[in-house]
Structure 1
Amino acid sequence: MIRGVRGATTVEKNEEAEIVSATRILLSSIIAENEIIPEQVASVFISVTEDLTSVFPAKALREIEGWTHVPVMCMREIPVPGSLAGCIRIMLHLNTDKSQIDIQHVYQERAVVLRPDLTAK
């Protein structure tokens, strides 16, 4: 079974170091909370809002040991007026026996407003 694991975070500045750091923290949390190993991952999509242009956030994935061969693609979010700025979203496709309810989606920083139903514990 392939399951999607979602996550999102935000940054305050359009700076490479901040974007890579926030993405690495988010990816690390998704990986840890779902006990993911790279061999289980079919692909990772990372999107950013149109105000983030200084780096491909996939760079963060390449800094995590063992993730060199995992397919990853970056893209831009639809620029909906009034949407959350400085936002990095992740959709990780995982081969797993876990049920949908057992998947742990991770929302951090200002992105917790996107899915309060998943962040309230």
Structure 2
Amino acid sequence: MAVRAVRGAVQVDRDDPDVIFDETCSLVLEVIRRNDLALDDIISIFFTMTPDLASGFPAAAARAVGLTDVPMLCATEIGVPNSMERVVRLLAHIQTDRPPAMVEHVYLRGAVKLRPDLVRERRPGTRGPGGSTATG
């Protein structure tokens, strides 16, 4: 197995601890699902949030979905003028047999605009960017 990095981000509606918690849970679970990961496959996660988010810790959401033994760190993203607001990002180090080109990076909701080059077409019946379901 190789060590790979997977990126992800989600744009949240507002700076509210419950919203940050729920959306981060969705992001982490989607990274796990799309990359067929077991919890033990996740080595570490580094979270950042844009400076306009400060009411919750993304790592708390990751622990709530079962990542209790995974080292995690939260930080504030640099405040670049005119950049997207209300974004939680993650960089996870994982163990996988997938080659780098097959690792699925996950961008949800408005964060899809951050890296449209990494957004893949979803298979029918699977959740795509923004939580929509592909139908055909």
TM-score range, shorter chain: over 0.9
Deviation of the 1:120 alpha carbon: 4.6
In structure 2, what is the equivalent of residue 47 of structure 1? 48
| Structure 2 counterpart of 1:4, one-letter code | A
How big is each residue's C-alpha offset from its partner over 1:61-117, in whole Å with a ceiling of 9 and x where there is no partner? 11113x110111101111100111000001110112210011011101110011111
In structure 1, what is the equivalent of residue 101 of structure 2? 101
Identity of aligned residues (%): 38
Deviation of the 1:38 alpha carbon: 2.0
Distance in 1 of aligned mates of 2:96 and 2:39 = 12
In structure 2, what is the equivalent of residue 2 of structure 1? 3
Tell me whether 1:112 sits opposite 2:112 in the alignment.
yes
Structure with greater contact order relative to length (CA < 8 Å, sep ≥ 6): 1
Distance in 1 of aligned mates of 2:5 and 2:54 = 26
Tell me whether 1:61 sits opposite 2:55 in the alignment.
no
Q: Tell me the TM-score normalised to structure 2 length.
A: 0.85
Structure 1: which 5+ runs fail to align?
none
Structure 2: which 5+ runs fail to align?
122-136
Secondary structure class of the residue paired with 1:54: coil
Q: Hey, which bits of structure 1, 4+ residues long, moved more than 6 A?
A: none
**What is the correspondence of 1:7-46 to structure 2 with a 5 Å cutoff?**
7-46=8-47
CA RMSD of aligned residues (A): 0.9
In structure 2, what is the equivalent of residue 76 of structure 1? 76
Distance in 1 of aligned mates of 2:113 and 2:90 = 15
Deviation of the 1:18 alpha carbon: 0.3
Q: Tell me the TM-score normalised to structure 1 length.
A: 0.95
| Structure 1 counterpart of 2:3, one-letter code | I
